[in-house]
Structures are given as C-alpha cells and as structure tokens.
C-alpha cells in the first residue's frame, strides 16, 4: 500500500511525517483534493490501521499490484521517517525511468546527489531475482539495499549487494528489527540511520585466507620417527569436481594439472619456509595408481595419504601456507564475510 499520495495540484502528502492535525484535515478533504497514489496514480483514500499505522488504500474497484502486508507498511514507514530525520529527500513507491524499477523507499541526498533505494522484501523470492533488481538500480547509479524477511542461505555478504535480515519479534507484533547475527536486535530506525550515515561496514576475511594454500597436519614419519608436517590438502583451489568448495586432497593433485604445476614451482620456497613439510611426488612404482604420495622431508620414506586419521583432518591442528609467498595462516582466520554496524563513525558506505 502506498505511503505517499499527491493532490490534483501536485501537493505531496507523506503519511510517515504528517502531523495528526494534517492527517485529520486530509481525511476530511481528500475527495476535493482528488488524491492519487504514488504507485499507480489511481485514486486513494487515507486510512489508519487498527494499530495506528497510516497508509493509503486504493479506491474500490482499482486494480494495482502494489499490495503489501501490514509489516511491510510499518517497515517502510519507519525507514522513510528515519531517512527524513537525517534531512534527506524521501519518496516511497518510487518509479525508475520507464518503470525499470520501483523502490519501496528512495532516498536522495539533496546536495551530494547520491541515491539509495531501500527495498523491504517480506515475501519469499529467489536470490537471482534480487540480484536482477539490484542490477537495475545499479544501471541508474542508485545504490540498492535490502531488508529481507526470510533466510537466503546462498547469499554471501558483498559490497555489490547489501542485504540484511529483517525479523519479526513475535507473531502479530508489528515491530520488525534488523538482525546483525549477534542476537542483539537493531530497530529499523537505528539501522537505517546507521546505513545512511556510513556506519554499516562489511567485515571481510583477510585476503591471504582466500589465496590458494597448502594445508598441513603435524605427524611423525613411520620410518625415521622424525616430526613432519604432512601435506594433506590444498584450500582455495578453483572449485571443481575434485575440489568441492575449493578443497583438493593432496593425493588428487596430479589430476588437476594447473594446481600441480603451480605447486611444483613453489616446492623449493615452501621447503625453505617449512623445512619439515612433506613433498608430493608420483609413487616410485610407476604401475601404481595416478595418486600422488607424500615423502618424508628427512628420510624420503613414502607416507600414506589414504584413509587419513581424524587427527590429521582436525582443522584446529592444521596450518596453511599460501603458494604465493609461503605466508602461514590458520583455518580459524577463514571467517565468512558479514555486515556489521559498530558504534562510532566509519567511512565505508554508501
């Protein structure tokens, strides 16, 4: 339902910021004003929900696909009000050129000229549909941000698509809040204020934890009993059949020639950096399977890479080294990117 209406002479009536007196006056004279909706320019009637939220209802018999849940109206009202309180220009149900997009709440900076479209998506829709609509905003240099009322497991937080989870407190309570993932609810007003004052930041994992690396586990050579780091796998490999989610088992290295070549080129560097790291080579007996074998850095005895023990696969015991420069890192550093809005100013967005 629209929150914004216009009189025949072009006067603007934003339901989220009008005083009670202004709203009452509008209810008395909306017919004479020939009030029309921002969404479809059809006739509308100012109404108030049972819980006191104002909006415009299309006049009987009018067909408009702009139908929204009460929660949607509340979220839109709170977002529009928060943006307007920052001195920004706000339009709801705003249409892009030639109807290429329609934003729930479109916010423009009156002096700097940037635009932000805030979309409140309560009904379930697939991620690629959101990405398509985001691209339509981007094509007009409008920064889109999404508040979605459902889980999107495939969404990975990224700068091109700022997307945040909107949660209803309880059934029937019209007080949706934004979830930061730490259990602390943020009201829509506070969130929108943070967003528009550049206090929402993307926390990303350090770049070396995304770089192709060898993964090693501490073990002991069966023949010389010396300590070694058994190279068990590669991480951050280009995803493929042999490398699901970027994990490639060391024994399968020869089956992915590109990574095999990259590894062979850096073996001397790796051994200088990690002298007790095992070396991967084809088995000495040529008739054996194409799987590679690990060799002890001290006595060169072959070490099995089949049926590795739980101990060797424990991510807490494993260490990684990048192929690029042999930088050591721990799998614990490999955090998922997430949105955060800390206290205090941070210049990051939009």
Contact residues for Zn ion, defined by CB under 5 A: 37, 39-40, 64, 66, 221, 223-224, 296, 298-299, 301
Whole-angstrom Cα distance, residue 48 to residue 17?
14
DSSP string of 51-84, one letter each residue: TS-EEEEEPTT---S----HHHHHHHHHHHHHHH
- The nearest distance, CB 253 to Zn ion, in angstroms, is 21
**Residue number, 35 or 163, with CB nearest to Zn ion:** 35
Coil, strand or helix at 132: helix
- The nearest distance, CB 5 to Zn ion, in angstroms, is 10
Coil, strand or helix at 163: strand
**Residue number, 64 or 312, with CB nearest to Zn ion:** 64
Q: Are 235 and 215 in contact (CB under 8 A)?
A: yes
- The nearest distance, CB 22 to Zn ion, in angstroms, is 22
DSSP string of 200-269, one letter each residue: -EEE---GGGGS-EEEEEEEE-TTT--EEEEEEEEESPPP-SSSGGG-EEGGGGGGSHHHHHHHHHHHHH
- The nearest distance, CB 37 to Zn ion, in angstroms, is 4
Give the DSSP H or E segment for 301: none
**Residue number, 59 or 210, with CB nearest to Zn ion:** 59
**Residue number, 279 or 323, with CB nearest to Zn ion:** 279
- The nearest distance, CB 23 to Zn ion, in angstroms, is 20
**Residue number, 55 or 349, with CB nearest to Zn ion:** 55
Whole-angstrom Cα distance, residue 283 to residue 291?
8
Whole-angstrom Cα distance, residue 238 to residue 100?
36
- The nearest distance, CB 276 to Zn ion, in angstroms, is 10
**Residue number, 64 or 269, with CB nearest to Zn ion:** 64
Give the DSSP H or E segment for 87: none
């Amino acid at each position: 339902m629209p929150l914004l209406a216009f009189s025949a002479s072009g006067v603007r009536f934003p339901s989220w910021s009008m005083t009670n007196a202004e709203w009452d006056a509008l209810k008395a004279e909306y017919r004479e004003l020939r009030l029309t909706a921002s969404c479809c320019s059809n006739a509308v009637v100012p109404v108030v929900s049972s819980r006191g939220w104002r909006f415009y209802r299309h006049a009987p018999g009018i067909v408009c696909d702009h139908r929204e849940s009460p929660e949607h109206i509340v979220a839109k009202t709170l977002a529009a009000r928060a943006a307007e309180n920052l001195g920004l220009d706000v339009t709801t149900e705003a249409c892009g050129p030639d109807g290429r997009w329609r934003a729930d709440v479109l916010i423009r900076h009156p002096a700097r000229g940037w635009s932000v479209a805030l979309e409140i998506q309560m009904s379930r829709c697939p991620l690629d549909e959101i990405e398509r609509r985001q691209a339509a905003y981007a094509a007009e240099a409008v920064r889109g941000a999404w508040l979605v009322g459902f889980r999107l497991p495939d969404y990975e937080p990224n700068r091109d698509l700022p997307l945040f989870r909107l949660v209803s407190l309880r059934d029937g309570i019209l007080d949706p809040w934004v979830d930061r993932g730490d259990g602390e609810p943020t009201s829509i007003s506070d969130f929108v204020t943070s967003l528009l004052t550049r206090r929402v930041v993307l926390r990303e994992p350090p770049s070396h934890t995304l770089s192709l690396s060898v993964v090693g586990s501490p073990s002991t050579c069966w023949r010389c009993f010396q300590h070694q780091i058994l190279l068990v796998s590669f991480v951050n490999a280009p995803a493929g059949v042999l490398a699901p989610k970027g994990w490639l088992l060391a024994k399968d290295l020869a089956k992915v020639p590109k990574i095999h070549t990259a590894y062979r080129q850096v073996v001397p560097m790796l051994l200088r950096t990690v002298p007790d790291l095992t070396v991967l080579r084809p088995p000495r007996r040529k008739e054996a399977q194409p799987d590679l074998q690990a060799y002890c850095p001290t006595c060169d005895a072959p070490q099995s890479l089949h049926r590795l023990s739980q101990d060797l696969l424990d991510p807490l015991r494993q260490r990684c080294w990048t192929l690029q420069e042999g930088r050591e890192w721990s799998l614990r550093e490999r955090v998922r990117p997430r949105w955060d809005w800390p206290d205090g100013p941070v210049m990051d967005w939009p």
